[in-house]
Structure 1
Amino acid sequence: MDEQLVKEIISVWPATPKAPAETVVKFYGQPNEATVNRLTWYYNGPWKRAVVFKEEIPHDFPRAAR
């Protein structure tokens, strides 16, 4: 995957998913697939695939934040 394209895709993501996306790219290198909504790596480490999504999903566990 083209490094510049991945940087352009991540640059317009919100801050919350942008930080982990940059961290995963630094650790595993360029993704095998990149779209405007997600980055995907295949067979990196013990996983069949790893995906970082642009969409922010609230996690209210064990309860909602105040």
Structure 2
Amino acid sequence: AILKALGLKLREYPFGHGNEHRLTDGRWLVDSYHCSRYNTQTRRLTAPMFRKVMTRARTLARI
């Protein structure tokens, strides 16, 4: 949704959990699986995986 809203091409920013993409305006986009019940129960996304991605996103955002 973010890429479409910014008018960017999805194929230029392939999804992968933990992938980092530098956007054309200088901001960062960090990919993560949605923390849905399905993804957590099937262990596609674990708490440590989510924490790692969010920690990295905070670092890139400098907050």
TM over 0.5: no
Flag the structure with higher helix content: 2
Give the TM-score of the pair, scaled to structure 1: 0.28
Give the TM-score of the pair, scaled to structure 2: 0.29
Flag the structure with higher strand content: 1
